[in-house]
Amino acid sequence: MPNLIEAPIDGAGSQTRKSSFLGALLLLTLVGGGSGAVFAKYIVDYTEQEVQGRMREQQSYSETLPFSISTRVQKLDPLVTNLASPKDSWIRVQASVLLEEETEGEVGLLRKKVEDDFLGYLRTLTLAHLEGAAGLQHLKEDLTERAKTRSKGLIHEVILESVVIQ
């Protein structure tokens, strides 16, 4: 007769295996849930730090502006005049100025004075002065300096909107 293996029929061994399996499953569930909670807490803290950091950057940016919050943009009339050299060349400048908030009557008078000063300056330029990016940068700096002097510091900056040379 062949050798037969007999298995015990009692249910005590299978009950122990079931409780061990459920215990291991419960332990793995608790470890997974705990690690997920720790990871979620880390993500929330990191996101809060980033948001607060960006808000600080925005606040510091507004504090580092070279002019005050009450500064306004005032458009100037287009300036058209001939250049000093060559005689048949013309320049048209469209610009705006950043100035402190003042009453309308003073702003209108100040604008006209600045426009007249700019026209006088533009008539002294030659085509060689305006060539390239450096020429435009020098033009902007010179106009800004003249506007600051003419307005006794009320004008902070000149913004060149367009420059056409023909």
Q: From CA 115, how far away is CA 101, in angstroms rounded?
A: 19
Inter-residue contact 114 to 155 (CB < 8 Å): yes
Sequential pLDDT tens for the chain (166 residues): 567 666 555 555 667 888 888 889 999 999 999 999 999 999 999 999 999 888 877 766 556 666 677 788 889 999 999 999 888 999 999 999 998 776 556 888 889 999 999 999 999 999 999 999 999 999 999 999 999 999 888 888 999 999 999 9
Specify the DSSP element, H or E, that contains 164: strand 155-165
pLDDT at 30: 94
Q: Which amino acid type is present at position 53? A: G
The domains of the chain are located at: 12-64, 72-165
Fold for 72-165, please state it. Answer: Tetrahydropterin Synthase; Chain A (3.30.479)
Cα gap 92→154, rounded to integer Å: 25
Q: What is the pTM of this model?
A: 0.61
> What is the rounded CA–CA span in Å between residue 87 and residue 92?
15
Instruction: For residue 59, give the nearest of 47, 69, 44 by alpha carbon.
Output: 69
